[in-house]
Structure 1
Amino acid sequence: MNDTRIAGLVKARKNYAAITALDGIDLDIHRGEILALLGPNGAGKSTSIALLLGLHRPDSGNATLFDRDPQDIEARRRIGVMLQSANLPATLKVGELLRLTASYYPEPRPIAECAELAGIADLLGRRYGALSGGQQRRVQFALAMAGRPDILFLDEPTVSMDIDARQSLWAAIRRLVSEGCAVVLTTHYLEEAEALADRVCVIAKGRVVSEGSVDALRAHVSLRRIRCITCVKIETLQAWPEVVSVETKQDRTIIATAQAETVVKRLLDADPSLSELEVQRAGLAEAFQEITRETEDVREAA
């Protein structure tokens, strides 16, 4: 993958007064992949992106975009950015905003294509300030890709969007990646990272504490979820030594266990009428919680 690296941080450190925001972080961004940055508030995600965008300088270490300084205009012309908030002229029409943004780039994406990808073709004649929060986010996404970027930075991109709009944006992101664009995604919606990311980087206290594919991070958690319809009482299941927890949702019983095969066998023996049996690995949310919890435990022990 080294030949596809197009940006990143190397041993980057950044302090704000007495606060260490980044503590020697290494981060690689590769062409044609979606990298999700996850971490609790204050972990260093925003600072990492700020260094990559050239908005701040590292106190030590390096930040590069296409082997250039992130403040180099040639590097900046190759990126697109959708931040968590945007102060755009409320009186301009959406089409005017897109044309203005496209004019800053040497080879912009056609306005109609931007609008189609972002799902805003019906909004081009409307004033930006008159749009709903979700519609404004879709416009911001269109603006971010107007310059045909090689790297797209998306900070909480689907905030305020309904389910349909979120799914449409996910499809647009996948299309851009298929064209070779790299995407750096920060999100509090862990199901979003799970659905999109090729690679996940978990940051805590300014350091990378875990990195890998979604499956690799999920494998970090040994627990499995067994979902089924059973007549075995909850009190009986809770007494089984292999069972960590039991809950019911609607007509389903959900059992958490690190020994799924053993529990399934016991269920089949105890309930011949057992039905709707599913065994699921831990989700990314559980893996994230486990990784950050372990990191806190190690730091407290130190």
Structure 2
Amino acid sequence: MKPVIQLDHVTKQFKGKTAVDDLSLTIQEGEIVALLGPNGAGKTTTVSMTLGLQQPSSGTIRLLGGSPQDRGVKDRFGAMLQDVNVIDGLKVGETIDLFRSYYSKPLTLDHLLEVSGLKEERSKMASSLSGGQKRRLNFALALAGDPSVLFLDEPTVGMDVTSRHLFWETIRAMAGRGRTIILTTHYIEEADAIADRVVVINQGKLIADGTPAEIKATTNGRTLSFTAGPGVTEETLRSVLGISDAVWNGRRVKLTSTDTDCLIFAIVQNKLDVKDIEIQSGGLEDAFQSLVLGQAGSFEYTGDDKR
């Protein structure tokens, strides 16, 4: 394998605020890399700089051995970004053909319509598509030049289940042909299923880098979930169980602990009004939360990183 993306001590500042802080990262040919982080972590800024859409305040970025702004480099990568825009007055097929004309060795129109699931919409005006269909059109445009490197920023937002299945099927096939995929997503279960490697950043800094299994191994905790009765409150959990980091979703409560057996014993011993108890080993999302909480103390993860 050879490196296709190299970030060397990259920093990006906006009006005195640091969005990306001394970030160094190397991505090899053929890898599927999930870039994860909480809201405002710097994911989108990192992708934008790697694409040449923004310039780093300091540090260097190499893409496919050259500058992201080089015409020859641009011919070899594709990008599907968060913002969905279409060109007024053009049909779906015409829009894809326009983007195909920008590349030296484009994929065929029929192939792009098929992998994006837009064959039946070929003659429709692009502006008349639904939100999910516009996301699929953006996917077709990102693939138009048969890219060696593909950037996907929150790619499946707005897609239905069938569209998501076709999308990930296409991504796996591309990776099988040696293409490099970099994706950001707030659907962490998708990252766990598709990625060879997970990179976690927070506050603009790299805080974890490894396979999904290696990232999940960073937390030894298991989760204990239950439905709390009306008499169970956050104060109850703090005083009886010594738990202060419970996650509430309505009356459903999730606790993370290295010893869930002790938690169950305390629940029974104190006759807490709970039901539907479930215990699960920590997954990628639990490891992600543990990593970010361990660095920052608290976070709000919405997948809407605009920095």
What TM-score results when the alignment is normalised by the length of structure 2?
A: 0.80
Q: Are positions 1:295 and 2:295 aligned together?
A: yes
Show the counterpart of 2:105: 107
- Write the deviation string for residues 204-243 of structure 1: whole angstroms up to 9, x where unpaired: 1111011111111111111224799xxxxx9xxx9899xx
Q: CA deviation at 1:154?
A: 0.6
225 and 65 in structure 1: CA distance in 2 versus 1, 3 angstrom threshold: same
Greater displacement, 166-175 / 131-140: 166-175
Aligned amino acid, residue 282 of structure 2: A
Asked whether the 8 Å contact 1:144–1:152 carries over to 2, the reply is yes
Structure 1 gap ranges (5+): 229-233, 248-252, 265-276
Where 2:66 maps in the other structure, the secondary structure is coil
Match of 1:209 among 186, 207, 210: 207
Asked whether the 8 Å contact 1:10–1:25 carries over to 2, the reply is yes
Where 1:25 maps in the other structure, the secondary structure is strand
Asked whether the 8 Å contact 2:79–2:142 carries over to 1, the reply is yes
Q: Distance in 2 between matches of 1:285 and 1:117?
A: 29
Q: Distance in 1 between matches of 2:278 and 2:289?
A: 23
Q: How does 1:90-105 map to 2 (within 5 A)?
A: 90-105=88-103
212 and 77 in structure 1: CA distance in 2 versus 1, 3 angstrom threshold: same
Greater displacement, 288-297 / 253-262: 253-262
Q: Distance in 2 between matches of 1:22 and 1:168?
A: 33
Q: Distance in 2 between matches of 1:4 and 1:291?
A: 29
Asked whether the 8 Å contact 2:135–2:158 carries over to 1, the reply is yes
Higher RCO (C-alpha under 8 Å, 6+ residues apart): 2
* Structure 1 runs (4+) greater than 3 angstroms displaced: 225-228, 238-241, 244-247, 253-257, 259-264, 277-280
Show the counterpart of 2:70: 72
Q: How does 1:51-66 map to 2 (within 5 A)?
A: 51-66=49-64
Aligned amino acid, residue 295 of structure 1: Q
Match of 1:150 among 148, 151, 164: 148
CA RMSD of aligned residues (A): 3.1
Show the counterpart of 1:135: 133
Q: Distance in 2 between matches of 1:256 and 1:63?
A: 39
Asked whether the 8 Å contact 2:77–2:149 carries over to 1, the reply is yes
Show the counterpart of 1:117: 115
222 and 105 in structure 1: CA distance in 2 versus 1, 3 angstrom threshold: same
288 and 96 in structure 1: CA distance in 2 versus 1, 3 angstrom threshold: same
Matched-pair identity in %: 39
Aligned amino acid, residue 132 of structure 1: S
Show the counterpart of 2:281: 281
Structure 2 gap ranges (5+): 227-231, 265-276, 299-307
Q: CA deviation at 1:158?
A: 0.8
- Write the deviation string for residues 62-85 of structure 1: whole angstroms up to 9, x where unpaired: 101111111001011100011111
- Write the deviation string for residues 131-189 of structure 1: whole angstroms up to 9, x where unpaired: 11001101110110010001101111111111221122111111111111111101111
Where 1:41 maps in the other structure, the secondary structure is coil
Aligned amino acid, residue 146 of structure 1: A
208 and 162 in structure 1: CA distance in 2 versus 1, 3 angstrom threshold: same
Where 1:220 maps in the other structure, the secondary structure is coil
Q: How does 1:1-302 map to 2 (within 5 A)?
A: 3-225=1-223, 257-259=257-259, 280-297=280-297
Show the counterpart of 1:269: none
Show the counterpart of 1:231: none
Asked whether the 8 Å contact 1:245–1:257 carries over to 2, the reply is no
Q: Distance in 1 between matches of 2:294 and 2:257?
A: 19
Q: CA deviation at 1:279?
A: 6.6
